[in-house]
């Protein structure tokens, strides 16, 4: 652990920080999720201050490096080949390495410290495409940025190659609870997702994994999803909390958008049960007004996706984001201040 983290741990001990637990039960998480809002926010903000004294927010940029024709049938996703006629999404082959690195440089100049690259694959296959992704990771790291990928399922060998290339984090969301999962995805099992997370962790790469609310799940489903995350040992370093963006042509196009306070509750609960994690306010943020976004930061969010697009859906205006961060008195994280760059030791 770095000297900075050692000092932060000492600060936590004198500011009432709780022990890090990996034995959470779904019932107690549901109780937290449903607790009176003011009590929930107070508890979340207290822990947030204990574990994140520097009051920083990370700006992460997300680029779709290969778009559409995914064989998965995720009911929320316009990139699924199952709904290509209905969504009329423009499909794009894997981008050239040079073009991806140009996008990374632009994101870096705009203030992003993490560059995330997403490809619409069920699983990455060895060959030229994977070799290109490896070069992209090396190039992003050479810029001094954190590099994150979401490429679908991985083998142990592939996770090892990504680790050797310097990958900071791998995004692989659980989406929802194991009980509700088959209502959303049938082409991949919940255990498949857990197996990939285990391989990524075993390679020494940090985990970026969370889920989506607003797909028709119950509050217990939300608590169960958080329980799965909070019983991983160690906890994921990044936990993106997404609100469904209903896309015309997908099976979930008619879902009623979740109320902003439901997103706030999820962020606060994630902060309480995984206090060291970076909680990322992700998809659905564009539908929030300024006050709702500020409440999400107060609840414990300390990272946002920054830029005009989240893979295939629109995102907030960058100038508005910078103004909001300034108004909230937050500090934009610099690469030197990144905690996640110190990757955990590989677990057997």
Which residues carry out catalysis? 70, 74, 77, 116, 148, 208, 280
Contacts with 182 (C-beta within 8 Å, 6 or more apart), sequence order:
none
If you ran DSSP here, which 8-state letter would residue 70 be given?
B
Return the structure tokens found at 107. 């994101």
- Partners of 320 in the beta sheet? none
DSSP element (H, E) containing 31? helix 26-33
DSSP element (H, E) containing 202? helix 190-202
Query: How many CB atoms neighbour CB 50 within 10 A?
Result: 19
Token pair 């295939």 in the structure block, residue? 312
Q: The dihedral of CA 210, 214, 219, 224: what is its sign?
A: negative
Give the E-state strand segments of the chain in sequence order.
56-66, 114-119, 146-150, 169-171, 206-208, 211-213, 238-243, 278-281, 303-305, 309-310, 313-314, 331-332
If you ran DSSP here, which 8-state letter would residue 183 be given?
G
Residue 247 phi, psi (nearest 5): -105, 125
DSSP-assigned letters across all residues of 254-291: TPPPPPHHHHHHHHHHHHHHSTTSEEEE-TTGGGS-HH
Contacts with 298 (C-beta within 8 Å, 6 or more apart), sequence order:
41, 45
CA dihedral 79→82→84→85, nearest 10 degrees, is -160
């Amino acid at each position: 652990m770095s000297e900075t983290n050692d000092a932060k741990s000492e600060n936590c001990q004198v500011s009432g920080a709780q022990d890090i637990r990996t034995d959470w039960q779904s019932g107690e998480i549901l109780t937290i999720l449903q607790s009176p809002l003011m009590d929930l926010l107070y508890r979340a903000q207290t822990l947030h201050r204990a574990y994140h004294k520097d009051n920083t927010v990370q700006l992460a940029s997300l680029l779709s490096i290969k778009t559409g024709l995914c064989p998965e049938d995720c009911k929320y996703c316009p990139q699924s080949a199952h709904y290509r006629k209905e969504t009329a999404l423009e499909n794009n082959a894997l981008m050239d390495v040079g073009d991806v690195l140009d996008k990374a440089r632009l994101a870096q100049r705009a203030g992003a410290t993490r560059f995330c690259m997403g490809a619409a694959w069920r699983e990455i296959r060895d060959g030229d495409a994977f070799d290109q992704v490896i070069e992209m990771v090396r190039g992003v790291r050479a810029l001094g940025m954190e590099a994150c990928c979401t490429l679908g399922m991985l083998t142990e060998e592939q996770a090892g190659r990504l680790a050797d290339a310097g990958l900071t984090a791998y995004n692989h969301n659980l989406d929802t609870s194991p009980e509700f999962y088959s209502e959303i995805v049938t082409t991949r099992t919940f255990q498949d997702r857990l197996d990939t997370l285990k391989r990524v962790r075993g390679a020494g790469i940090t985990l970026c994994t969370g889920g989506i609310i607003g797909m028709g799940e119950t509050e217990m489903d939300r608590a169960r999803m958080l329980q799965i995350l909070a019983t991983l040992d160690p906890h994921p370093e990044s936990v993106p909390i997404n609100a469904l963006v209903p896309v015309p042509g997908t099976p979930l196009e008619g879902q009623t958008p979740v109320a902003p306070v439901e997103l706030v509750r999820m962020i606060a609960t994630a902060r309480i049960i995984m206090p060291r994690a970076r909680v990322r306010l992700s998809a659905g943020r564009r539908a929030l007004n300024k006050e709702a976004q500020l409440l999400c930061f107060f609840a414990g969010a300390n990272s946002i996706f920054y830029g005009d697009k989240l893979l295939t859906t629109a995102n907030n205006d960058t100038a508005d984001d910078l103004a909001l961060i300034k108004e909230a008195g937050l500090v934009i994280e610099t690469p030197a201040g990144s905690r996640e760059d110190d990757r955990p030791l590989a677990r057997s």
